[in-house]
Chains A and B, each alone.
Chain A
Amino acid sequence: MNSSLILSIVTFVYALATVLYISSWIFNKSLLGKIGTASTLAGIIGNIAGFILRWVESYQQGIGHAPLSNLYESLVFFSLTTAIIYIVIERRTREITISVFASPLPFIAMAYASLSPNMNDRIQPLIPALKSNWLIAHVITCFLGYAGFAVACGLSIMYLSKQYMNSSEGMGARIPSYDMIDELTYQMIMFGFLFLSVGIITGSVWANSAWGSYWSWDPKETWSLITWFVYALLLHTRLMKGWQGKRIAYISIIGFAAVLFTYFGVNYLPGLHSYGQ
Chain B
Amino acid sequence: MEEKPASNSILTPIWNFFASVKLSVITLLLLAITSIIGTILPQNESPEAYYHSLGETLFNVFSTLDLFDMYHSRWYQFLLLLLCANLVICSLNRLSSTYKIVFIKKPVFNLAQFRKAGNRQDFTSTLPIESLVEKFLQIIESKFAKCIVEKNETGYAIFSEKGRWTRLGVYGVHLSIILMIAGGLAGSMYGFEGYMTIPEKSSEHVIHKRKSNETIALDFVIRCDKFDVSFYDTGAPKEYRSSLTILENGKEELKQDIIVNKPLRYQGINIFQSSYGTTAPETVSLTFTSRETGMEFTKSVSIGEEVDIPGGLGKFTLQQFAPSFRFRGHNIGETFIGELTSDGSDPKQIVIPVQFAKFDKMRGGDVIISAGNFEKRYYTGLQVTKDPGVYIVYTGFILIILGCFITFFMSHQKLCVEIQKEKDNCQVMIAGTANKNKMGIKFIVDRITEKLSKISR
Contacts and interface: CB of A to CB of B under 8 A. Distances in A.
A223 B36 CA distance: 7
Contacts of B17: none
Contact of A212 (B28, B43, B272, B400): B272
A167 interface: no
Given A212-B272, A219-B39, A190 B408 contact: yes
Most chain A Cβ neighbours within 10 Å, of B28, B236, B240? B28
A124 B261 CA distance: 19
Interface string A33-54: 0000000000000000000000
A224 B222 CA distance: 37
A129 B401 contact: no
A10 to B, nearest CB: 27
A232 B404 contact: no
Interface string A225-240: 1100110110011001
A209 B237 contact: no
Contacts of B237: 127-128
B232 A201 contact: no
B71 interface: yes
A83 B248 CA distance: 58
A259 to B, nearest CB: 13
A74 to B, nearest CB: 19
Contacts of A132: 261
Contacts of A206: 261
A125 B24 CA distance: 45
A197 interface: yes
A269 B43 CA distance: 12
A198 B390 contact: no
B451 to A, nearest CB: 23
B58 interface: no
A241 interface: yes
Interface size class on chain A is: 35 or more
Contact of B25 (A131, A194, A214, A241): A241
Nearest to B94: A240
A111 B36 CA distance: 29
A66 B234 CA distance: 19
B370 interface: no
A163 interface: no
Contacts of A204: 397
A274 interface: no
Interface string B58-89: 00000000000001000000000000000000
B405 A128 contact: no
A215 interface: yes
A200 to B, nearest CB: 9
A212 B393 contact: no
Interface in A198-219: 198, 201, 204-206, 208-215, 217, 219
Contacts of B32: 226, 229-230, 233, 258
Contacts of B24: 236, 240
Interface in B46-60: none
B383 A211 contact: yes
A140 interface: no
A197 B38 contact: no
A240 B390 CA distance: 32
A128 B238 contact: yes
Given A63-B232, A212-B385, 10 more contacts: A127-B237, A191-B408, A194-B404, A204-B397, A209-B263, A226-B36, A229-B28, A229-B29, A236-B28, A269-B40
Interface of B: 21, 24-25, 28-29, 31-32, 35-36, 38-40, 42-43, 71, 184, 193, 232, 234, 236-240, 259-263, 270, 272-274, 383-385, 390, 393-394, 397, 400-401, 404-405, 408-409, 439
Interface of A: 63, 124-125, 127-129, 131-132, 183, 190-191, 193-194, 197-198, 201, 204-206, 208-215, 217, 219, 222-223, 225-226, 229-230, 232-233, 236-237, 240-241, 258, 266, 269-270
18 contacts: A124-B236, A131-B239, A131-B261, A197-B401, A201-B397, A205-B394, A205-B397, A209-B261, A212-B263, A212-B272, A214-B390, A222-B71, A225-B35, A229-B31, A229-B32, A229-B35, A236-B28, A240-B24
